Every structure is written in C-alpha cells, then in structure tokens.
Chain A
Amino acid sequence: MQGFGDAFAAAFALIVGFDADLVEIVALSLRVTLSAVFIACLIGFPLGAALAVGRFPLRGMLTILVNALMGLPPVVVGLGVYLMLSRAGPLGVLNLLYTPTAMIIAQAILVTPIVAALTRQIVADLDTEYHETLRSMGAGRGARMATLLWDGRFALMTAALAGLGRALAEVGAVMIVGGNIDHVTRVMTTAIALETSKGELATALGLGIVLMVLSIALNALLMGAKATSERMAHA
C-alpha cells in the first residue's frame, strides 16, 4: 500500500505524461458513452416529442413507463443485456458479449428513457406556449414536433448532457456486459473499481481525477446550455 501523497504524485505523473494505458481507457470510455448517448438521442428526442404532442393509444401508459425507466438500476440493465447477448440468449449468435458494442447497447438502454422523459417535459412545456400559434398557422403534427424540437434545442442539450453524465459515471452495466477486459472493454469506472481493489491507487486516482474533471466540465456545459435556453426564451 502506497502513501496517499505518493499515489497522488504518481496519478498526476500518469495524467501529465499521457500514459498510454490511461489514454486508451479514457478514449474507450468516451467512445462508448458518446455512442450510447448519440443513439439515445436519436431515439429519445422523437420519442419524447411524440409523447408530448402525439395522440395515440397507450400514450399515457408509455409516458409513465418511460418516466419509471429513468431510474433503471444499471446492474439490472446489464443483466438483461447479458442474458440477451450470452451464447444461449436470443442474440447470442451475434457474438457481442464482452465487446464495446455490448457496452454501448447497455448504456443506450440506460440513457434512452432519461433523454426521452426529459425531452417529453421540455417539448410539452414549449407546446403550451406555441400550441395556438402553430395551429393557427395550419401546422400539422409533424411540423409542430419539428418546430418544438428545434426551438427547444438548447434545453434538449441539457437532456443529452444529463444522459451523458449518467453514462459516464455508470459502472454496473458496462462491468457485466463488457467484462472489464484489459485493452478491450476496460473503461474508466470499471478500471477504477479493479485498480482500487488491487491496491493500485495511482492508476485508480489518475482515472478518478480525469473522470471528475470530465464530469465538472459536463456540468459547466449543462449550466451553459440551460442559461442559453433561458436567454432564448426572453419571456
């Protein structure tokens, strides 16, 4: 067991020296989470908008479901995706278990309800303001949805960033479906868990610092997007 001081010094040395392993882990983390959030937005934005302004059967049920799924425990999602992708599972032939793709799938499932639920709220709020105006212009439902999504773009960015925050910090799902395999599926959170348990505090701390900085930067972005969104409203 090293002293804390030594561990911090070694951690900074790893970061400043762009340690190859550390960089690889950070890069994979970003690749996985950004891909997952991108997919979640592709599904969550239109889904949320449809829940906000659409009129179709089971809309109420679906809204409740999406909201409930926001709090999905990552390990449960991991388990579900594991069962789907495991050799005996229905998607076993794809051989995706323990690959970054599996991690992206799991995180996308985790993040999509968050993006969709926040999008629904954002679009619904904007719709109460725009509804009559757009209707008086003769806009159809599709045009209305597109208008609301575009005019809510900065608020929607906060939804995406909230999803990103969740994905970046998450460990349970990526651990189960990724397996934390060195150079293949090792990401920041799983690496921190492993290195800490091995007593390799320098690596764990180095990654922890990077993760902290990323999450602080993310929150700064989030606040910026929020402020911009409010400035755009001017009302």
Chain B
Amino acid sequence: MLRLVQNTPPPVALRLDDVGLCRGGRMVLDGLSLDVPAQGITAIMGPNGAGKSLSLRIMAGLIAPEAGTCTHDLSGKQDIALVFQKPVLLRRTVRANLAHALAIYGVPRAKRKARIADLLDFGRLGAIADSPARALSGGEQQRVAMVRALAAKPKLLLLDEPTASLDPQATDAIETLIRDTAAAGAAIVLVTHDRGQATRLADHIRFMHRGQLVEAAPAAQFMLAQKSPEAQAYLSGHLLL
C-alpha cells in the first residue's frame, strides 16, 4: 500500500513484546516481538515447532505469556477470532454449529436464521448444511470452522494453517474467503507453510524460528529476497533445525 506520509508508522492491530513461554521444560517462545499491522494480511511463516500456533493462542488470549506482553485495543469478546490448526466442531449439524456460535456471539434469536443462510452461502456450505459436522471431510470441517469464526465479525482473524489439508478447489474457496474478509476491513494473521499462498495473499511476512522473530518484511520484498539465512534456508526447502 502506498503511504503518502512516510514517517508515521502504520497502525498496528496487535503487538507481542518480548514474549516468553515455557513448555515441556524449555522456552518454546523466547523474546518474541512481533507486530500485526491493522491493514491487510500478515503471514506468519516458519518451520515446524517454531512457535506459530502458540503465538496465535497468546494473541487470542487463550494463554497468557509468562514473560513479556500482548497488547491490542480490541476490547470486545468477539473482536478476535481464532481458527485452530485442528478445528473442533460440535456434535451437531453444520447449521446447528453456526446457530450455536451466533447464540454465543449474542446475535438475537430472530436474526439467526438469516445470518446462518448468509454464512452457509458465503462458505458454500449449502449442500452439507444438515450433515453432522464431525462426519465431514477434513477440508469441509475446516471451512465450517472458518465460517463459524467469521460469524463473530471479528476485527482480527487468526488462521492457523487453514488450508493445510485442503484440495486446490477448497483452498481457492478459503483464500477467497480470506481476501473478502480482509477487504471488509479485518486484520488477518495467517500461519502458512505454503509459499505460494503467502505470495498470493500476504501483505506482510513475519518469519519465526525457534520461538523468536527472525525477519519481518513486506511480502513482496520478502518473497524476492530474504535477509536472514534461516528464512532463505526455509524457503529454498533446506531442512532447518
């Protein structure tokens, strides 16, 4: 995005500052500082075990950092939504899952039916609306989880590898959902291992390694040339330990 005033820093939706977290007797997040711009899609990349999923949990307020801080001014309960790497759907139909979410988000009963229809339409879930959600394929469940999160109309949407198990068509559908949501003004954090996806969607890249931020850059610039050897090795497919 072209900025006319070069010196003002872009607005930030959320910021992790020197965050530390201990799991299994070791520091799995260690001095992690990372900002999520308020505009556009931020892709978090990094090898397995880098701490991406834990970072998202901290951003969502599900776990408190043991050191450092997570700051944002999203005060509403539903301002931040998280779609887990392995989404958990309720033991109900797809429609009932969405109805349940809307009830929790405080949508009045009279308005739910119309909202559900919109959401089913939006996620192209019409054909499976009355199937038991947990009997669906992995990709279908992912889409339901995504739409369920969107039902909250979040200002910050956190997506943990939302297309990891999806076929190209479903991936395309999810990417369209992500783009539409970003266009509607939500800030999006997208954890992905898919370089192509990051290129297609991301405006900003945050590259993590061993619980730390190694590189932060605009996406276009990052995809052309990475500054850190870790990111270079990761993107060129070298095993990174």
Interface residues of A (CB under 8 A from B): 129-130, 132-139, 143, 147, 151, 232-235
What residues on B are CB-neighbors of A139 within 8 Å? 104
Q: Do A151 and B104 have beta carbons less than 8 Å apart?
A: no
Q: Do A151 and B62 have beta carbons less than 8 Å apart?
A: no
Q: Do A130 and B100 have beta carbons less than 8 Å apart?
A: no
Is B94 part of the contact surface with A, judged by Cβ < 8 Å?
Answer: no
B window 51-100: CB within 8 A of A: 57, 60, 62, 77-78, 81-82, 84, 87-88, 90-92, 100
Q: Do A143 and B60 have beta carbons less than 8 Å apart?
A: no
Shortest beta-carbon distance from A111 to chain B in Å: 26
A129-B86 Cα distance, complex, nearest whole Å: 11
Q: Do A136 and B81 have beta carbons less than 8 Å apart?
A: yes
Is B187 part of the contact surface with A, judged by Cβ < 8 Å?
Answer: no
Q: Do B62 and A138 have beta carbons less than 8 Å apart?
A: no
Q: Which listed residue, A129, A138, A143, touches B88 by the CB 8 Å rule?
A: A129
Q: Do A138 and B78 have beta carbons less than 8 Å apart?
A: yes
What residues on A are CB-neighbors of B134 within 8 Å? 232-235
Q: Do A232 and B60 have beta carbons less than 8 Å apart?
A: no
* Nearest CB in chain B to that of A138: its residue: B77
Shortest beta-carbon distance from B218 to chain A in Å: 29
Shortest beta-carbon distance from B112 to chain A in Å: 15
Inter-chain CB contacts under 8 Å: number:
47
Interface size class on chain B is: 20 to 34
Given A135-B62, A233-B134, 8 further pairs, Cβ under 8 A: A133-B88, A137-B78, A138-B78, A138-B105, A147-B100, A151-B90, A151-B91, A234-B135
Is B139 part of the contact surface with A, judged by Cβ < 8 Å?
Answer: no
Q: Which listed residue, B105, B132, B152, touches A234 by the CB 8 Å rule?
A: B132
What residues on B are CB-neighbors of A143 within 8 Å? 103-104
* Nearest CB in chain A to that of B151: its residue: A137
Shortest beta-carbon distance from B118 to chain A in Å: 18
A154-B62 Cα distance, complex, nearest whole Å: 29
| A132-B62, A147-B100, A233-B134 known; A137+B105 contact, CB < 8 A | yes
Shortest beta-carbon distance from B225 to chain A in Å: 36
27 A–B contacts from the bound complex (CB under 8 Å):
A129-B88, A130-B88, A132-B57, A132-B62, A132-B84, A132-B88, A133-B87, A133-B88, A134-B104, A136-B60, A136-B82, A137-B78, A137-B104, A137-B105, A137-B148, A137-B152, A138-B77, A138-B78, A138-B105, A138-B152, A139-B104, A147-B100, A151-B91, A151-B92, A232-B132, A233-B91, A233-B134
Chain A residues touching B, majority SS = helix
Interface centre among A133, A233, A234 (most CB of B within 10 A): A133
Shortest beta-carbon distance from B179 to chain A in Å: 23
Q: Do B104 and A232 have beta carbons less than 8 Å apart?
A: no
What residues on B are CB-neighbors of A234 within 8 Å? 91, 132, 134-135
B window 108-139: CB within 8 A of A: 132, 134-135
A147-B101 Cα distance, complex, nearest whole Å: 11
| A136-B62, A136-B82 known; A232+B91 contact, CB < 8 A | yes
What residues on A are CB-neighbors of B78 within 8 Å? 137-138
A188-B97 Cα distance, complex, nearest whole Å: 45
Q: Do A133 and B84 have beta carbons less than 8 Å apart?
A: yes
What residues on A are CB-neighbors of B101 within 8 Å? 137
What residues on B are CB-neighbors of A233 within 8 Å? 91, 134
A235-B84 Cα distance, complex, nearest whole Å: 16
Shortest beta-carbon distance from B24 to chain A in Å: 18
What residues on B are CB-neighbors of A235 within 8 Å? 134
What residues on A are CB-neighbors of B132 within 8 Å? 232, 234
Shortest beta-carbon distance from B65 to chain A in Å: 16
What residues on A are CB-neighbors of B77 within 8 Å? 138
Shortest beta-carbon distance from B102 to chain A in Å: 10
What residues on B are CB-neighbors of A134 within 8 Å? 104
A132-B81 Cα distance, complex, nearest whole Å: 12
What residues on B are CB-neighbors of A147 within 8 Å? 90, 100
A138-B82 Cα distance, complex, nearest whole Å: 11
What residues on A are CB-neighbors of B60 within 8 Å? 136
A112-B21 Cα distance, complex, nearest whole Å: 43
B window 131-176: CB within 8 A of A: 132, 134-135, 148, 152
